[in-house]
Structure 1
Amino acid sequence: MSHIDPTRAQFDAFKSLPRDHPIEMLNLVRLRDTADYPGDHALADAGLTGAQAYARYGAESAPVLARLGGSILWRGGFQTTLIGPDDESWDHVFIARYPSAHAFLAMVTDPAYRAAVMHRQAAVLTSRLIRCEPRGSGEVFG
């Protein structure tokens, strides 16, 4: 099963959580070999790879993220899964930080972001977007 956009129930659960504190979103993204734009989109026949379409998404959405006070906190290159499904691999692994859930919601409803997200939808084969509450770091788990 492919996961590209949240279901209504997932989005409602996200919105039901407190909105006035910073959040961090763990992003795990696997790209399509070839971007899959809707037939009426200007890039439908351009033959872009998923990586090229995702790069367009990044370039167009980054100014919105920055304007709302968000940033990419951490990014890494996937190597292997030690615990978890063997069939999951990721092209992009990163953590985005937002000053609040309000900022995240403002981003996903921003007209410039809504135009950019078409590239993400065309690029992504499947993904995981996991909301986390930031906590202090330390030397122990828990």
Structure 2
Amino acid sequence: MNASAVDTNVQDRIAAMISVYGENGAVPARSQWEALMSLPADAPVTLLNFFKLRREAHYADGSGVSPCSGQEAFSRYAAVSAPGLEKVGGRFLLLAPFGFAFVGEDEDWDFVAAGSYPDRNAVLALFEDRDYRKAYVHRVAACERQKVLLCLA
């Protein structure tokens, strides 16, 4: 998808998010934001999140955040992200420890979360939320790796 297919207002919103979050693999890249925003405006969106947590959270030097485990850092993030999801009209469909791959290649994750959003703008609104932005540092510090898949449902 090219940038001309997404209107200027959306491009400005995406640029603002990239300026806050960056494009470091822990958040959507510009092309992924554009793909999200090219979806039908009223289509429900579900994000399937797979998380592998670090033993010790990795915060940037001078962050002022007290050291903790990856699990504790993720709990700090979840304390804000869960209410934030509800605030934009979404809800969790699943929060569960990862078991194993039943079909296909085996993967190693700690837990899985499926969040349902009423539409693409709700996803964008969550990332634009001031409290969510502040809490995202905990998600980045907590996760050794993550994978987020988007489903239209």
One fold, TM greater than 0.5? yes
The 5 Å alignment of 1:85-104 reads 85-86=105-106, 88-104=107-123
Aligned equivalents of 2:103, 2:33: Cα separation in 1: 27
Aligned partners of 1:3 and 1:127 also within 8 Å? no
- Matched residue, 1:55: 75
Q: Which 4+ runs in 1 deviate beyond 3 A?
A: 82-86
| 1:11 and 2:33 matched | yes
- How far has the Cα of 1:11 moved from its partner? 2.2
State the identity as a percent: 37
42, 55, 60: which one aligns with 1:38: 60
State the one-letter code of the partner of 1:30.
Answer: K
The 5 Å alignment of 1:1-142 reads 3-43=25-65, 46-86=66-106, 88-134=107-153
Gapped regions of structure 2 (runs ≥ 5): 1-23
Aligned equivalents of 1:28, 1:3: Cα separation in 2: 14
- How far has the Cα of 1:75 moved from its partner? 2.3
Aligned partners of 1:78 and 1:93 also within 8 Å? yes
In the TM superposition, what whole-angstrom CA distance separates every residue of 1:46-81 from its partner, at most 9, and x where no partner exists?
321110000000002222211111111122221222
In the TM superposition, what whole-angstrom CA distance separates every residue of 1:22-57 from its partner, at most 9, and x where no partner exists?
1111111111111111112111xx321110000000
TM-score by length of 2: 0.77
- How far has the Cα of 1:10 moved from its partner? 2.1
Q: What secondary structure sits across from 1:33 in the alignment? A: coil
Q: What secondary structure sits across from 1:93 in the alignment? A: strand
State the one-letter code of the partner of 2:79.
Answer: A
Please give the root-mean-square deviation of Cα atoms over the aligned residues, in Å: 1.7
- How far has the Cα of 1:17 moved from its partner? 1.9
Does 1 or 2 have the higher relative contact order (CA < 8 Å, sep 6+)? 1
TM-score by length of 1: 0.83
Aligned equivalents of 1:19, 1:116: Cα separation in 2: 27
Aligned partners of 1:4 and 1:125 also within 8 Å? no
Distance change in 2, residues 1:120/1:102 (3 Å): same
Gapped regions of structure 1 (runs ≥ 5): 135-142
